[in-house]
Amino acid sequence: MFVLHSYALAVIFCFISMLCWGSWANTQKMTGKNWRFELFYWDYVFGVFLLAAAGALTVGMTGTEGRSFFGDISQASSRNIGSAMLGGLIFNAGNISLVAAIDIAGMAVAFPIGVGLSLALGVVLNYVATPVGNAPILFSGVGLIMAAIILDAVAYRRVPGQVRAVTTKGLVLSLAVGFLLAFSYRFTAGSMATNLTEPEAGTLGPYSALFFMSLGVLGSNFIFNTIIMKKPFVGEPVHLSRYFEGRGRDHLLGLFGGVIWSFGMLTNLVASGQAGFPISYGLGQGATMVAALWGVFIWKEFKGAPGGTDRLLTLMFLGYVAGLVLIIVARVV
């Protein structure tokens, strides 16, 4: 399988992951208001699985280092396969909850609580499991990124129409997002070898780990999304027959969104061999900054915001950049 031998290249892969995780939601925006998220999400999970399978059968089969995809799954323990699939199931629950939390509580609540908690808890969990990097520098970088997320939320609250009453349901969902996304990555990472060139017996490589994770995402969606379509958090129930009434463009955008996210997860897991899981996850979660950039420059989400919002956004981006630099440096100090 293809593996990395350079930390600098691993950092580049983490940035690719960050770009993908911060960009996939644009495909959902492009489908328009008439195509419900629940319908979009079916194509999204198909895209996640297709990219995972394609990666496993191509780059997962190349090279002479590590184990090939088929060699990997033939020796993998049922415990590690189950851990990767459980990671996919938990991710799916967290990802759907994030969208519901945004609908109910708004960006200003869902992101600082959900994504901020996910970032902090995820780095802690992965550092405890595999302590890679200088802890004070690493967690200082995490703190700066969390501060940047809070500034992003404050800026969103200044946009007309973004302020909403914080209900118990919205708050609970936002908290659930943080825990679910953090534990999802830990279960997937926990199934993997720590040395990708000479992987431990019974463990998974990044390609097989993502493959089984994507199976967990796909399989659980038949439960989670079916329930949410019948009893949505927001709006009226939607019948599955509407999925087959969608335009080809809508279905392709959903598939593309899943492919983008899955490619980001693949590059993140491949990078973990050199960067370590805490740093890979921390850098990947810089996705919120990427999403904010799309919101500012492409979707004009801050149009009409009062004076001073630009300063908040500038501080947010500076905080993110400083935090990302500290996370990168934590591996080499």
pTM recorded for the entire structure = 0.94
Give the tens place of pLDDT for each residue, 133-184. Answer: 999 999 999 999 999 989 988 888 888 876 666 678 878 888 999 999 999 9
Give the tens place of pLDDT for each residue, 262-287. Answer: 999 999 999 999 999 999 999 998 88
Lowest mean pLDDT among 28-42, 52-66, 126-140: 28-42
Cβ neighbours of residue 138 closer than 8 Å, sequence gap 6 or more:
123, 127, 278, 279, 282, 326, 327, 330
Q: Is there a domain that residue 2 lies in?
A: no
User: Cα separation of 52 and 181, whole Å?
Assistant: 19
Q: Which residue has the higher pLDDT, 288 or 109?
A: 288
**Assigned token pair, 192:** 């993997």
- Name the domain count of the chain: 1
Position of tokens 């009409």?
304
Q: Is it the case that residue 102 has pLDDT exceeding 80? A: no
Residues spanned by the domain of 110: 7-329
Mean pLDDT for the chain overall: 92
> Helix or strand or coil: residue 87?
helix
User: Cα separation of 203 and 196, whole Å?
Assistant: 10
Q: Is there a domain that residue 212 lies in?
A: yes
pLDDT at 191: 98
Q: Is there a domain that residue 54 lies in?
A: yes
For residue 59, how many other CB atoms are within 10 A of its CB? Answer: 17
For residue 299, how many other CB atoms are within 10 A of its CB? Answer: 12
Q: Is there a domain that residue 317 lies in?
A: yes
pLDDT at 187: 98
Give the tens place of pLDDT for each residue, 249-263. Answer: 999 999 999 999 999
Give the tens place of pLDDT for each residue, 273-323. Answer: 999 999 999 999 888 888 888 888 888 888 888 999 999 999 999 999 999
Q: Is there a domain that residue 1 lies in?
A: no
pLDDT at 165: 63
Lowest mean pLDDT among 5-9, 215-219, 230-234, 251-255: 230-234
Read off the pLDDT of each residue in 209-232 and give the average, rounded to a whole number.
96
**Assigned token pair, 85:** 């699939």
Q: Is it the case that residue 107 has pLDDT exceeding 70? A: no
Read off the pLDDT of each residue in 84-91 and give the average, rounded to a whole number.
98
Q: Is there a domain that residue 180 lies in?
A: yes
pLDDT at 163: 65
